[in-house]
Every structure is written in structure tokens, then in C-alpha cells.
Structure 1
Amino acid sequence: MGLGQTVRMLFPREELSPSDKFLELMKDPFRAQLATTSIKAALITSVGTSGVIFLLFCILRPFNTIVYAPKLRHADEKHAPPPLGKGLFAWWKPVYGSREEVLMEKIGLDAVIFLRFTRMCRNIFLVLAALALAIVVPISVVINKEFYKQFGGNDAIFMMTPQGLFGKPFWAYVAVAYIFDAVVCSFLWWNYRAVHKLRRKYMDSPDYQNSLHSRTLMITDIPRSLRSDQGIVQVADELRTTPEIPRASIGRNVKDIPDLIEEHEAAVIALEKVLAKYLKNPNKLPNQRPLCRPSKKDPGYPNKKEKVDAINYLTARIEALETQIREVRETVDKRDAMPYGFASYETIESAHSVAFAGKRKHPQGTTVRLATRPNDLIWKNLHLDPKTRRWRRFINNLWIILLTLAWTVPNALIAVFLAQLKNLGFLWPAFQKQLEKNPTSWSVVQGVLAPAVTSAFYFFLPILFRRLSIQAGDTTKTSRERHVIHQLYSFFVFNNLFVFSLFAAVWTFITAVVKATSEEHKSFATAVQDYGPFDKTMIALCTVSPFWITWLLQRNLGAAIDLAQVVNLGWGSFSRKFLNPTPRELIQRTAPPPFDYASYYNYFLYYSTVALCFAAIQPITLVVCAFYFLLDTFMKKYLLMYVFCTKTESGGLYWRVIFNRFLVGTFLSNCVIALMVAGRGYAFRWNMLASMVPLPILLIAFKFYCKRTFDDSIRYYTTVSAKGSEAAMPIDKERRRDRVGVRFGHPALYQKLTVPMVHEKSKHLLAELYRGRLDADTGYTNAGFSDMYAMKRMSKEKPGKTAGATGPFEFVSDSNMDFENYKNRPEFAEGHGGDGNLFSRPGTPVSTLASVRGRSESRDSERAYEADGAGVTYPAGYHTTPSALREMSPSPERGLGKVESNSDEVRDESALLRSAAPMGSGVHIASQPYGPWI
């Protein structure tokens, strides 16, 4: 009697109501009838489709460098990857031949460690797969042959599971647990040592040695009595491991400037989108001007549901925000100091020795740590005190737990119905007829549908977890990403290994115990013992194992789609033809996209955990996982060399997180083997379990050994006190002029405001679009009463002719709509690798500060500390008058000049916004109310 006949005998449709059918399915959702066919279908579709996509990539790559090699086009000579030929496989040799030492300089340490991690996964699973095929598969197949003879079954997939094993054979699985742990820990140790060497090379590199953040400390939780530059020096002096005296800078309270800048940028982008859509066809404008609803944060419009003219409203909104930003910036230095600050030393040795001494202490209640790159800081969280941060983390954890539990129900339904379509036919007779008519077609659907739906949900999880981590109080983007990796991994493991794989066994256990205690009046202990929960759980894992084979097979398809950049290529073509992308969006699409380390690390860790957990249950998962990493190692190497960039370089600080998660996956695999032993070990059960007790202890000991051996040396350049010794290297005179107050000053104080970008083909329409708005040349204010209200501006170069445009837009032509022309501008470069000097862009905002006034102390800062006669130096203009804070103001007032740009285009000098803050001039001009068009 086959398995299918057994199922039909156990669940006769004609005798059960729909509700009873549903409950029976929840008890045993995974039917084995379509398992082998589904795996074959998944293998064919995955390998076949991946091969076609890979061939498509090889054909398209030489003709589309914008998508397939943007870093080759934009990176400077130092960071540019090796050139590529035009042949189909010309990319293989440069990718395969590039070594870590070269790649560290080309793509950064984060990317190099990610590639090392993928190679480690490949090597681990190749070795484990070989061991499993040599040890586990022969034992299972030989014993299962005798077992299946009694039931008439002969399914090759289930022959490799331990369903027919009892007693002594499980000693082999105990030995396998030790062997697998030894293999995993050996590779982890080898790569931990390699990461340590890479990190030391990184800290010895010229880029790190010459950077300011490498010798700067960030001090948080500063009490009010020490919130001054001198107070920071006192905190550092309390640790006193070096004779050097740092240059310090206390943080300034910028209040709502960051929010105003964010609103300003959103308004500019919204205006660009409105103009791009309205001016799509300059020769035929729409009859109706675009409308929009006022911003919820705009106090000038109490009725937020009433639509207004979008162009006029956004114009006025930008003007008002610029005025607010200018006024608040003028008063920043008169506000309170913040509970955080920075202390910069002249040598890296001094800074790191102080940071190492301070990690175990909290002088004056403060927290002292090494500073990260300024662009890595999450400024709005630096002022949070420890109590607030702990409370926010608690709330954040509650939200994550709630989300994890909430996803349990839909995840269980996917497990019941999509992973096994037979179950859906069990409830739906009409669908059952279709299933019986076309079993092969529906097997293909079953092999593809459930894994695809399972994966789709997780696309949005990283975005949500990032927002939660920021709300929880993370102070750096690197720490945020590490927390996202941890949260994603926990979410995946709970929902997909516990809920998805074990839901049927848990549900059956609960219903059986309830029935035995209520109807048969058995005690709870007797009911549990009669049910045999461990044995039933092992059977459930064996039954669900084919799904994970099909799921891992589909990961190869995902890797090929990544390599071919199908989404970027398809979306770019679709949006150009059917949507209205703005010039800014088109420019950004030609830039190297940032690599999402948190998501990719989580995926790889999760694939590894699935394979490790099912290694003893279904050894084929190890083979499939090894095959995936074998292919994706080279695919990801190409992508990181030629396509993706590192948005925020952490210097390899993700390693410890992924190391710990890999140990967790190894521990879970031990738990699965222990569960098998508890369920089927019988007379040898307790001896086997006792022999497995050392495994978790050894894993914990290994973790602490690696921590004590490598972590301090990875994190700190030196841990030895420099007290009483001379500096290890001569101090460059440039270092004495370092202005830590600027380089680690809040970006809201010097950030340039965004300028609206418009396509050049619409240049001649702007005069009519903003009709009645006269520029500064005429000297008139368009209040609606002038006789020249409707007159157009006349060209100075061509008397008698009207001028082309009337606004200080940045006009972009088709030929200049490329990231190459804008890669040195912070607004474009910071999100595409510019912060890591990929394009040799200077990383300091000093050049943007053109005012002549110096920075004054806050009322909590009594004086600045001076050392060697230099003291705490600040550049002229740290007070940040608006004149140098944006490339051009949209004000029609006097004082506007030409705009510096990396493109060949010159922006129009006339005004877009009447009455705006005159940020293009050093002359103070009073703000005016909104214009009459509102």
C-alpha cells in the first residue's frame, strides 16, 4: 500500500465536514505524494531558468556598462576594478584572478569580508555534503529499504531520511554531530584569523592612518556640568593613558534644522516630480495644472484635504522652509550644548589606547568609544540618555516579538496549503479534480509557488527593522545594520524553521493531548507519553524536508537574477517609457547601487541554518546549499567589483555578528539530532543524549576563545598604554590644524540645500509657468498691482528678445544626465559610495563654509582648551551664515551668482521663488510672506 493510499484511508473526504477537514489538515499538512515530482520540477525550472538568465547577462553585459559595470565608469584610478573585454565570458578572468589584497583597496574591507564569508560557506557545505553522502546516506538507505518493504513505498527522497531507523543506528548521528561541529568550527577559526589579518592591514593602510575618525573618540552621556570643550578634555584626562591632550568639540543643539532640511528636500523632490510630469511634452502641456494636498506639517493650511495648485504651493513651501532654516542656523551657537562630543588626538595610538581603557569604565558617568566616520552617525540619537535608550530597546523588542507572532498565522496557512496543493484539493473538490487531471503541471506550481510567496514577504522586512532600530536609539548606521541582521535572522529562524516546519507536529500534539485528557480522562503526563512528541516531531521534519530542497534550489534562480540585474534593467526601461522620471532619478539610476549587507548576510546565514538543521534529516539539502554557494561566490564577487558599492564602510565590523549567528545555526543542528535521538533512540536514548551534552559547551567555549584571542586586536589599533612615552610617529603639521568641531559637526549646520532639477527641454516654458514673477533685474516686486505684471523678462544678450527661463533651476540635458557629471556632489555621492572616497571626493565640509565669522561658545561652554598654542580651532564661518550653504537660492533678490556644477550646464541666475531666504548672498535680507498666488 502506497503513501497516497494511506493518506486517503486516514482522511476519507466523504465522511468529514469542511471544518473537520481543515482541522485534519492542520494536524498533518504535508503530503508526500508530490514530493519527488516537485523537487524535479524545481530543479529543472531553477537550473534551466538560471542558465538562460546567465546567458542573457553574458550577451547584454558588453553593451550596457551603465547597468553591468557602473563602477568601471565612475570610480577613480585607485578604486577602479580591472577593465573588461567585450567577449561573452571576458569577465571571468578578471573576477577569478582578483585577490583579497587588491580588492581591499578597490572595493573596501566590508565587501572583501562578505566575499570571504561566501567562500567560507561554500567550503563548509562542500565538506559537509561529502561527509553526509559518505556516512549518513548509506546508513539511511540500507536500513530504510527494509522498513519500506513492509509498506510498499520506494520514494528516493524519503529513503535518505531517518524515518525507518530505530535504536543503535542513531549512534552514527551522534558521531556526525561531533564531526559536523568540528568542521564548522575549524572553518570559522581559520576565517576569524584571516579577518583579523585583514583588519590589521586595513588599520595600517594610508587611508585609515590619515583619516580623522581613526584617532577621534566619541563621548556620550556627558553630564550637564561637563558639557563644554574643556569638560570633554577632563573626561579624557581621567583615563589618562597618553601624554597627548586632545582637541575637543561639544555637540550643539540644532533643534529642528534636520527636520526642516528633510522637509525641504522632500518638497524639492515633489516639485521635480510635478514638473517632470507636467512638462513631459513641452510642445503640448496638459489643460489642467497639477494639484496636490498641503503638507501635514504646514501650519498655513488648516484644511489639509483641500487640493491646491501643486507648482505654486511647493514653490512657496520651499521658500518658507529655506527662511526657517536660515533663521535657525543664525542662532545655533546661542543654544544649549548637547550630552555628546568628540575628542581628537594627534596619533591613532593615543586615541585607541584611551578608548580601550574607557570601554571598561564610565568616567563621570560617560561612555567613551572610538568614533566612526561622520556619515555613519545617526545624529538624532546621540543625545539620548541610557535610561531612554533602554526603554526604547524594550519597546522595540516588543514590536519585533509582536510582528513575529503575527506572521505565524499566514505562515502556517502557507505551510498547509501552498507547500502541499493536495491539501487545498482536500478542502476544495473542484480543485482536486484539476489536480488529478494535471498532476505534473500542478507539481511544477507547487515546486515554485510556496517558496516564491515565502520569499516575497521578506523583501520589506529590512526596511521595517531599520526604522525600528533607529527608534530604539542606535547611534550609528553600522550598529543599526548589525541589529537588523540579528532581528532578521531571529525572525526567519522562528517563522520558517519552527512555525513552518514544526507547526503540524505541534498542532497534532496539542489536539491529541486535549482529546486524551478531556475524552479519555488520562493524566497530562500519560497523554504526552502515549503520544510520543519527539518521534512525531522527527516524522514531521522528514515530511517537510522536500520543501526545503525545492526552496534552496530556487535560491540559484535568485542569484542569477541578481547577477543579470533583471529588476534594475527592467524597471529602468519601464519607467523611461511609461512613467515620468525626474532628471535626479535618471542620474541616480546610472550610479553604482548600494549593497544591502544586512539582507544578504541574513539570507546566507538563513540558507546555512536551514541546511545545517536538515543535514541529518535530509542530507540532499547540504548538496543543494553547496551548489548554491559554489555559483553565487563568483556572482557576488562580480557584483561587488563592478556593480555595487558600499554605502557606509564599517571597516569589517559585521564579522562578529555573522560568526555568532553561524554558531547558533550549528547549535540548532545539534538540537535536531538530539530530537531524533530522543524520539527513536529507545534503549540507548539517555546514553546518546548524555554523550551530546558537551557539544553546546564546546561551542560556547570556542566562541569565548575567539573573542579573547581576536576581538580586542580587531577593534583597537593598540591596547597598550602610551603614558610616559613619546608619540610613535612624527606629527604632520596638517593634523595640528584639524578642525574636529567641523568634521564632526552636525551636517545640518553646513549641508547645502537641494536645488530643483529640470530637463533642459522645458527651459523655455518656465517663464510662462511662473508668469507674473519678475526677476531681480527689473527691481519690481510682483504684488499683483504692477503694470508690468504680465510682461516677460527680456534677454540682456539679445535686445528685443525674451529670455529663456525664469528660475534658478539646475537644467540638465540628455547628454549630461549621467552620474559621472555629479559624482563629486554630496547629494548624489553619499548614497553611492562617495563617503568611502570611491570617487576621490574630499570628505570635509570646510570648503563649503565661506563666512568670515568665527564660532562662539555655547552658554554651557566657558572656554575652549588650548594645547601647543593651537587649541580647538574652528574654521571661519562655523556659525554658518546662509551664504555658502546652498549652491543657489531660489530668491529673486539681489546677490545671486552662478552656480558651481560638475555638469557642463550653467543654471539660470534668475529667481524661482520670490521672497525666499537669500542664501546665495552674504547680505541679510528680511523674509517676506507667501506670494499672492497662494
Structure 2
Amino acid sequence: MDLPARAANLLARDKLDDFVDLLLDPFAQSASARSHIEKTAFWSALGTSIGGSALIACLFCFARPYNSVVYAPRSRHADSKHAPPPVGKGVLDWIAPVIKTKELELVDKVGLDATIFLRFANMCRNIFTCITIVGLAILVPINLYEHRSSIGSTDTQNFFIQLTSQGVQGRYLWGYVLLAWFANFTIAFFLWRNYKSVARLRRAYFDSPEYQKSLHSRTLLITEIPRGLRTDEGLVKIVTEAKDTGSNPRTAIARNVKDLPELIDEHNETVRNLESVLAKYLSNPNKLPAKRPTCSVNKADQTYRKGQKVDAIEYLTARIKELEMQIKEVRESIDKRNAMSYGFASYESIADAHTVAYKTRKKGPQKTSIRLAPRPHDLIWKNLPMTSKQRNWHTFVNNIWVAVLTVVWVVPNAFIAIFLSNLANLGRFWDAFGTELKRNPKTWAVVQGVLAPALTSLFYYFLPVIFRRLSNNAGDLSKTSRERHVMHKLYTFFVFNNLFLFSLFAAISSFIFAVVKSSEQEDAWSAIKDGQLLQKGMTALNGVSTYWITWLLQRNLGAAVDLAQFVNLAWGSFSRHFLHPTPRELIELSAPPKFDYAGYYNYFLFYSTVALCFAYIQPLVLPVAAFYFWVDSYLKKYLLLYVFITKTESGGQFWKVLFNRYIFLTILSDALVALVCVGNTTFGYTEWLPKVCAIAPLPVLMLAFKWWCASHFDNKLTFYTTGVTAADTENAAELKSKRTDRVGVRFGHPVLYKPLITPMVSAKSRHLLPTIYSGRTAEVDIPMAGYSDMYMDSMSHDEPGKTARGEAPAPFEFVSENQMDFEFYKNRPEFRDVAGGEGELYGKPQDLVRRGSHGTLMTQDGTVMTGYDSRRGSGDSAATRTGDEMGTTYPQGYHKTPGALRDQSPASSVRSMDIGNAGRHADHEHLLSRAAPMSREGVPAPTPGGYGPLRLGEIHTPGESDQEDTSYDYFRRGRGLN
């Protein structure tokens, strides 16, 4: 081998040895170099955090008054009850409403989930304010005195090492024990105080008019129903066997929808694809591209070769029509499908339902599971048929994937811990960078203070999305319970990867290598005893403590970025200028964003865990964490008041999970105090044993406190009542009004009645569609049921009374430029489901029980249905009949009249008939269409986009006239008259 090759081999071997040395001891560097880098990294992180946050806050203050779409979407869209306090145009006018708005107002404005989130943030702020004051007073003097008296003069230059627990021994460790007791009692006090407040808020929530009038509050969800009881009568038998309350519930067994959800998902995706194709092709109406757009055929389409390229506009339009026909056929035959293993039972009073749920909270009769039903919008329908065994298996598989992701992340996490959190290590391994590091130490110290925390935070920004997708198949019955499990998995992942692996990786790797090396000369047990794992672990924790200070400082900058909504601003600007967004996408961009409770709760919990655990290693983390909670508690309050919405309200059910996590992190910090006492002792167990014995009662006391709170508060948090009493009985008039509830529809699968979306096209391209689309220009195959059996041509938009010619192809909906805003479409189910907060924000709660005239009933998304059949034939039950109620009722289109669900306007009893058809054949249902609804509150002003652009000849009637029109012709013919 020639000399250059041998030199290269020797160099590679040296680099490998350096890498192994780094694994063994990443902190093996000169004290002066380490002190300089850590000091500069801390000040750079502090300057970036404070300076950057102040700059971003100033930019927000100046930009806020001129961009309400981003900084106050709730104010633009909310009704009078949910609208936040008005804010002036002044630079600092937003501060006063944030400070002055009290908790009782917050419940009405933002909901109970958001209120409890802000209460939890305030609790963290108060806890760390108290612990910071006492902790700094105890630990800083002890650490400084002990360090300077026991550590060599070379380390006295490193102020951060002086503040750590390194070198603290003997009687001074009792100060750590004292702080641990104070921290535990402080946390227990604030947890107890907030548990009481949450219980009070939950009781007020149970008594609120919204909850009292909602259907889900008195409805039970029954799952794992045996085959012999999968009927309406069987459901009555099950709940009566569980607890006979003296009243018969109205029941509805679910029907198998089979491939209908997949068909609707494919339909929606195809519509969006067509919109995207048209938006790009018609982006410049004055100059169309020379080549028409093409696309690949769908894999399920057997009429074309696999992968064949076809004209995108013609093919996607035809594909949409084909999917609509398939969906319609399935919907018409749904009553012929087999019954599923789950169903719903709705009582006349809330007390009856909650009494049965409390009685069966552990186990239901006939091996069923009975629980309070969540809001219909909250249900994950595909998971409802799962058995307990299937759910456990899916959860097990999901946990395996989470474990795999955790293990996979170990490698990049280790490299961040070794190299990015200490760039001097990277310089030892990479000569060129080492030279650059020596030439510009201050610059790279700034990079160290910012880069490693930024990369860690960037990965964790996407982590909730990954866990949420994994949890969708884990068997959760509701979206809110899924979010609680996502939060739990996120927190576990953070603690294991960061606090354990990241902080202790160097100590563990050094211990393993030392044991392996020593085992060659002595037995394994002796090697393990000589490995000094505790001492190496304490050294590693002291060395990495500065990184966590910089990380917590950087999170203050993250809070300011949240306030400024930089992500929404940047993405909105980029997409509008470079991505040719469709009208639908522009409408969705202007909608208020949803608040990610799982992600934000996890951050708060993890900050608390880092701060409380590392407080005994590096006391500086305490004021940094307290400052963060002080700042973010107010910033998040503004965001929840003016920007974010709660997409699915759980009524404050996150609290118990948060409480349990806080108990865990407190016990974890107690274990760390014990390790500090043992690891810093050099004179044997006689010195550390008394201190460990003094700490040992703390975990036991915290577990006892947890048990006491659970037994004292949990039933009050969950159930309106645990037994029917005279005080729980509602008045007879209220009970009578509830006998007309249609549980089968309101708790029916959304795919059975949810309106299909229509392709949206910009109105500026209206005149081009007849020239680029050669398909049908009107729907002629399905007559408008309820009006006439004759087809009428579409009316001209510009010349009323004349037939439209070449202006509005029926399969499209045109949207003008000034109506591409969520404000015009917030009551449409397709947009409300994405960013509508269940409709409550806009005065349209989906689960509120509302009455129409005879022949009408409302689904869970607010859709009014007419022409239902109150007698379901074989599905009725004498046990469930109350008045004209006979078992589960479905709209007529489900099993009788073909096409009734889509071809007839379900809202015809509350919306006026089109002027052009007013004189045609009207049945007895239409005779009641002008009847005034109950509890009229005035005439709502027609908005051009309330349910699409205003059509010529459309009139709105008072009361409930703004309810959803879901007729097939409305979505496929009427919109062409824009």
C-alpha cells in the first residue's frame, strides 16, 4: 500500500477513535473552551429570545389593525354571543381586552375547552413563580458557595457550572430536600385549587342552556351489541336492563354504510382535483395555455387502461357525475343494509341518561359498552363497530409504531445531543470546522445557542400530525378522546427522547463502553459496580443543562411567532402568488384556524417537566420557565379570543389527563432529587440514606393526593347526576317537546345525508367554460321532485325570463372575486366541518334541538329533512313509540322514494320555493312551507355566500330560513343561475 493510502487509513482510524471518544465522553474538553462557548451560547439565546420576541411583538402591534383576516378572524365571523370584545385600531389597544376579559366571559366567548387551557397556563405560571422565588433563594447560594470551595480554580470562570449542583455535598444537600417538599406542596395546592374550579366550570356547563337543549347530553352510545339485540327493541332492552329509569328512550340501531364513506371521499378529492385543474388552466382568462390539461385515470375506473392519460376537464367532470350516481344508489338502499353492532338511545331527560351511564360506567349488560354519547360531529364513525379485542389490538399496533418512531429518532437525537448542542465536539471530529470554530468562536457560539434548539423544535412541529394519523386507527370513538391520547403519546415521546435519551445519552454510552472494557479483565458485576453510572449521569446532566436553558429561551421566541401568525401569513401570501389556489382554497384560507390542544398542552407539560427536573441541576431554568409562562399565558389568551377556534368542543375533558401528567412529572422530579443526593455523595450510604428517606414519602403523598382528587371530583366532572332525583326531573312541557326528536337522523352517519360538494370556479372565467367544456350544460335526467315532472331550462343570469345560452354549465358553481371569503360560506357544511367550530361560533350549534313544522327534521349538521316516514315497518317497536314516534326514522329517500334525499329540497318547509316554480304542483308539505317556525328571532339578512352565491329569484323567509338546502338540483342545476 502506498504512503498516501496508509496516511488516509491512519487518518480515518483517528477520526473513528475521536468519534468513539465523543460517545464515551462528549464533555471531555478544556474548561476554558467549554466556559466560553456555553457563556456565549446562553447570551446569544437570551438576546435572540428577548430581542426577537420584542421585534415580532412590535411588528404584530403595527400590522394587527390592518389585517383582520389573520389577526382577528373570530371577530369577523362570530355571532354576537361568541364575538370577542371589540378592539380599537391603536397599536396597543389589544392589550386591555386581553387583561380585562374574565373567566366567566371566556366561557361564553371561546368555550370551556379554551377556558380550561388558559386556566392551565395560568396555573403553570403561578406554580413556577412560587418555585422560582424559593428555589433561587435556596439553591443559588448553596451551589455558588459549595462550588467555589470544592472545585478547582479553572472551573470558577464558568458561571453556569458554578450554578449547577456539581460539587454540592454533605449537609448542603438538605436544601435540595427542602425545595423538593416545597415544590410538591405548591404543585398539590394549585392542582387542588384548579380541580375545584374546573369542577365548578363543568357544573355550570351542565346547567347551561346549550347543554340542556342539546341532544347528545341525554343520549347514550351503546357498542358491542350482540347480534340478537341489533334492533331498536334490543337497544331498549339493553338500557332498561342496565337501569330502569321509568321512561322509555328513543333508540336507533346503526346501519352498514359499507363503501359509502370511501365513495364520498373519492368524490370530494375528485372535485378538488377538477377545481385545481381549472384554477391553473384559467388563471389568465385572456390567454389560455395552448395545451389542454391532462391527468391519469383513476385506478378504479375500468373503462380506461391503467395509467392512461386523458383530458383532465372532461374526465374529472364525468367521474364526478359517475360517483354521484353511485352515492345516490347506495343512499337509497341504506335501509336494506344489515344492522351494525352499535346504536344510540336518547332519553327525555338528561338525568335519566347520566344515571344509566353512571350505572354502566364499568360494564354494561349483555357484554355491551354503554357511555354518554359525544357530539355527533365528534364521533369517529369507522371505529364504532370495533369490539374491545379489535380496539386493543389496534392500540397495541399503534403503540408499536410509536415505539418504532421513538427508536428511529434515537440516532438523530444522539447526534444533536453530541454535536449540535456542543459544536466543539463537531470540531474535534471535523478538522475544517474545528479550524473555523477557532477562527470565529463567537459566531459559532451563537449558532450553537440557536441551531440545536431550532432543529429539535422543527421536528416536534410535525410530530403531532404523525401521531394523529397513527391514532386515527387506534380505536378511539371520538376525535376529542383521540386528541387526549395524542397528547399522552407526545408527552411520553418528549420525556423519553429528550429528558432521558438526549440528556443521559453520553452517560449511558460512557457507562456501557466502560463496562464492556472492564469486563475483559474482571467479572461483569464488578465491572458494572466500577462503571460509576450515577456519577457519569450527574456529570452529563450538569453538562447539558445549558442547552435546556437556551431551548426554553427559544420557546419565548416561538410564543411571539405564534402571536404574529407568521406561518399563516407566509403560507397565504405564497399560495396566492405562486400556487394558483382554487376559490375553495381561498375561502378556507380566510377561515379561522383551529387550535391544536394536543400540541400546545404537550409543550406546556414538557416545559414544566424540564424546568422542574432541571431546577435541581441548574436553577436558572426556573426563572426562564416562569417568564415563558407569564408571557404565553397572555399571548395565548389573545389568540383564543381573536384568532383560533375550538373545532370540536369536549366540554373541558382534557383536565384529568393534564392532572395525571402533572402528578407524574412531580414524582419524576422527586426521583431526580434523590439521584442528585446519591450521585453527589462520596462517603457512602450513611450520608445519602437519610436524605433519600426524607424524599421517599413525597411520591406516596402525591399518589394519595391523586386518588383523593379522583374520588372526590371525577364523578362530578363526568356526570350530570349519578341518580335520578326530584330536582333532576324536567318539566312536562320540556319533556313533551323532546318526544319529537329523531335520533336515527341526528345521530345518523354523516355520509347518509351530507350534501355533496360542487366544483367551484372563479366567476371571471365564467364565459370560457362553454368553450373548454363540451359536456352537458344542464341536468336533464332527474326532474325536480315535488314541483313538476317536466324539466325546465336554466334561466339566464343576465336576461331573466329567458333561457340561459352558453353561460353556466350546470356542474359548476361560480364564485365572484369579492365573495372568496369564509364569511359568505361559513354556514355551508362543507366549510363548517373544516373550520366552523361545529357551527356554535356562528350561532348555528349543530347539536341544538330545534323544531320545525310537521314533516321536517334536522340532522346533526343543521340540514333540514322533509318527507320522512314515521313508520319504519319492521324496524319499529311498541316499546319505543311515543305519540307518532315508532322506532328509528330515516328520511324517505333512504328506503322508499328513489332520489328523494337529493332530488327534493329537504329544506322546502323552511326555504321559499323558487319564483319560477312557485305556481307548480305543491304537495301538502309545501303548503306548510310558509309557516312561521318556533321562537322567531327576526329575519336574517341574506348573505351572498350563505349557501353559495345568491340565486336570482331566491327569497329568504324568517326564522330558520337559512337552513341547509341539500337537494340534488340545487347543487347541480340551481347554482348555474348565478
Specify which of 69, 73, 77 is matched with residue 76 of structure 2: 73
Alignment of 1:477-626 (within 5 A): 477-518=479-520, 521-626=521-626
Which amino acid in the other structure matches residue 866 of structure 1?
R
Q: Secondary structure at the match of 1:261?
A: helix
Unmatched 5+ residue regions in structure 2? 1-9, 783-795, 848-857, 907-914, 919-942, 954-965, 974-978
* Contact 1:39–1:549 (CA under 8 A) maintained in structure 2: yes
Q: Secondary structure at the match of 1:471?
A: coil
Question: What is the distance in 1 between the residues matched to 2:361 and 2:698?
Answer: 32
* Contact 1:215–1:347 (CA under 8 A) maintained in structure 2: yes
Aligned to 1:439: 441
Q: Does 1:19 align with 2:16?
A: yes
* Contact 1:121–1:608 (CA under 8 A) maintained in structure 2: yes
Aligned to 2:394: 392
Aligned to 2:968: 920
Shift of 1:730: 3.4
Q: Does 1:121 align with 2:124?
A: yes
* Contact 1:376–1:648 (CA under 8 A) maintained in structure 2: yes
Q: Does 1:263 align with 2:260?
A: no
Alignment of 1:693-704 (within 5 A): 693-704=696-707
Aligned to 1:932: none
Aligned to 1:667: 667
User: Per the alignment, do residues 372 and 797 of structure 1 end up closer, same or farther by CA in structure 2, a change over 3 Å counting?
Assistant: closer
Alignment of 1:155-194 (within 5 A): 155-194=158-197
Question: What is the distance in 2 between the residues matched to 1:908 and 1:309?
Answer: 33
Alignment of 1:126-137 (within 5 A): 126-137=129-140
User: Per the alignment, do residues 851 and 467 of structure 1 end up closer, same or farther by CA in structure 2, a change over 3 Å counting?
Assistant: same
Specify which of 879, 894, 898 is matched with residue 894 of structure 2: 879
Shift of 1:296: 3.3
TM-score, normalization: structure 1?
Answer: 0.90
Shift of 1:183: 0.9
Question: What is the distance in 2 between the residues matched to 1:902 and 1:684?
Answer: 75
Deviations 1:288-320, CA, capped at 9 Å, x for gaps = 11122223343444513x332221221122111
Deviations 1:770-817, CA, capped at 9 Å, x for gaps = 1364545899xxxxxxxxxxxxx9997698995323233221111111
User: Per the alignment, do residues 767 and 493 of structure 1 end up closer, same or farther by CA in structure 2, a change over 3 Å counting?
Assistant: same
User: Per the alignment, do residues 858 and 181 of structure 1 end up closer, same or farther by CA in structure 2, a change over 3 Å counting?
Assistant: farther
User: Per the alignment, do residues 255 and 777 of structure 1 end up closer, same or farther by CA in structure 2, a change over 3 Å counting?
Assistant: closer
Question: What is the distance in 1 between the residues matched to 2:287 and 2:951?
Answer: 24
Q: Secondary structure at the match of 1:250?
A: strand
RCO higher in 1 or 2 (8 Å CA, sep ≥ 6)? Answer: 1
Aligned to 2:946: 902
Aligned to 2:788: none
Shift of 1:606: 0.7
Question: What is the distance in 2 between the residues matched to 1:15 and 1:301?
Answer: 58
Q: Secondary structure at the match of 1:494?
A: helix
Q: Secondary structure at the match of 1:830?
A: helix
TM-score, normalization: structure 2?
Answer: 0.86
Shift of 1:904: 7.3
Shift of 1:151: 3.7
Specify which of 866, 869, 873 is matched with residue 854 of structure 1: 869
Alignment of 1:727-876 (within 5 A): 727-732=729-734, 733-771=736-774, 773-775=776-778, 802-841=805-844, 843=846, 845-846=858-859, 848=863, 850=865, 852=867, 854=869, 857=872, 865-867=880-882, 870-872=885-887, 874=889, 876=891
* Contact 2:354–2:721 (CA under 8 A) maintained in structure 1: yes
Shift of 1:273: 0.8
* Range that drifts further, 168-177 or 270-279: 168-177
Deviations 1:366-425, CA, capped at 9 Å, x for gaps = 111111100000011101111111111111111111111111011101111111111111
Deviations 1:57-92, CA, capped at 9 Å, x for gaps = 000001111110011111000110110001111011
Question: What is the distance in 2 between the residues matched to 1:656 and 1:535?
Answer: 37
Aligned to 2:416: 414
Aligned to 2:353: 351
Aligned to 1:928: none
* Contact 1:227–1:861 (CA under 8 A) maintained in structure 2: no
Aligned to 1:109: 112
User: Per the alignment, do residues 390 and 471 of structure 1 end up closer, same or farther by CA in structure 2, a change over 3 Å counting?
Assistant: same
Question: What is the distance in 1 between the residues matched to 2:168 and 2:823?
Answer: 64
* Range that drifts further, 694-703 or 853-862: 853-862
Question: What is the distance in 2 between the residues matched to 1:543 and 1:726?
Answer: 61
* Contact 2:892–2:900 (CA under 8 A) maintained in structure 1: no
Question: What is the distance in 2 between the residues matched to 1:256 and 1:43?
Answer: 56
Which amino acid in the other structure matches residue 565 of structure 2?
Q
* Contact 1:674–1:692 (CA under 8 A) maintained in structure 2: yes
Question: What is the distance in 1 between the residues matched to 2:727 and 2:195?
Answer: 32
Question: What is the distance in 2 between the residues matched to 1:795 and 1:303?
Answer: 44
User: Per the alignment, do residues 799 and 885 of structure 1 end up closer, same or farther by CA in structure 2, a change over 3 Å counting?
Assistant: closer
Aligned to 1:10: none
* Contact 1:72–1:81 (CA under 8 A) maintained in structure 2: yes
Aligned to 2:456: 454
Question: What is the distance in 2 between the residues matched to 1:886 and 1:175?
Answer: 74
Shift of 1:887: 10
Aligned to 2:923: none
Q: Secondary structure at the match of 2:483?
A: helix
User: Per the alignment, do residues 524 and 876 of structure 1 end up closer, same or farther by CA in structure 2, a change over 3 Å counting?
Assistant: closer
Aligned to 1:142: 145
Q: Does 1:426 align with 2:428?
A: yes
* Contact 1:888–1:896 (CA under 8 A) maintained in structure 2: no
Q: Secondary structure at the match of 2:842?
A: coil
Q: Secondary structure at the match of 2:472?
A: helix
Aligned to 1:930: none
User: Per the alignment, do residues 29 and 907 of structure 1 end up closer, same or farther by CA in structure 2, a change over 3 Å counting?
Assistant: farther
Deviations 1:899-918, CA, capped at 9 Å, x for gaps = 99526735699xxxxxxxx9
* Contact 1:35–1:546 (CA under 8 A) maintained in structure 2: yes
* Contact 1:738–1:873 (CA under 8 A) maintained in structure 2: no
Specify which of 197, 205, 214 is matched with residue 202 of structure 1: 205
Unmatched 5+ residue regions in structure 1? 1-12, 780-792, 890-894, 910-917, 926-934
Which amino acid in the other structure matches residue 27 of structure 1?
L
Q: Does 1:298 align with 2:297?
A: no
Alignment of 1:90-101 (within 5 A): 90-101=93-104
Question: What is the distance in 2 between the residues matched to 1:676 and 1:45?
Answer: 32
Question: What is the distance in 1 between the residues matched to 2:826 and 2:775?
Answer: 36
Shift of 1:740: 1.0
Aligned to 2:855: none
Question: What is the distance in 2 between the residues matched to 1:777 and 1:40?
Answer: 73
Alignment of 1:631-670 (within 5 A): 631-670=631-670
Q: Secondary structure at the match of 1:593?
A: coil
* Contact 1:887–1:900 (CA under 8 A) maintained in structure 2: no
Deviations 1:856-890, CA, capped at 9 Å, x for gaps = 7597877772135644463653627544448999x
* Contact 2:903–2:969 (CA under 8 A) maintained in structure 1: no
Question: What is the distance in 2 between the residues matched to 1:345 and 1:527?
Answer: 68
Question: What is the distance in 2 between the residues matched to 1:249 and 1:531?
Answer: 66
Question: What is the distance in 2 between the residues matched to 1:434 and 1:76?
Answer: 60
Which amino acid in the other structure matches residue 440 of structure 2?
N
Shift of 1:351: 0.9
Q: Does 1:686 align with 2:689?
A: yes
Specify which of 75, 82, 86 is matched with residue 83 of structure 1: 86
* Contact 2:79–2:841 (CA under 8 A) maintained in structure 1: yes
* Range that drifts further, 436-445 or 456-465: 456-465
* Contact 2:777–2:808 (CA under 8 A) maintained in structure 1: no
* Contact 1:752–1:887 (CA under 8 A) maintained in structure 2: no
Deviations 1:221-274, CA, capped at 9 Å, x for gaps = 110111111111111111225211111111111111111111111111111111
Question: What is the distance in 2 between the residues matched to 1:653 and 1:435?
Answer: 51
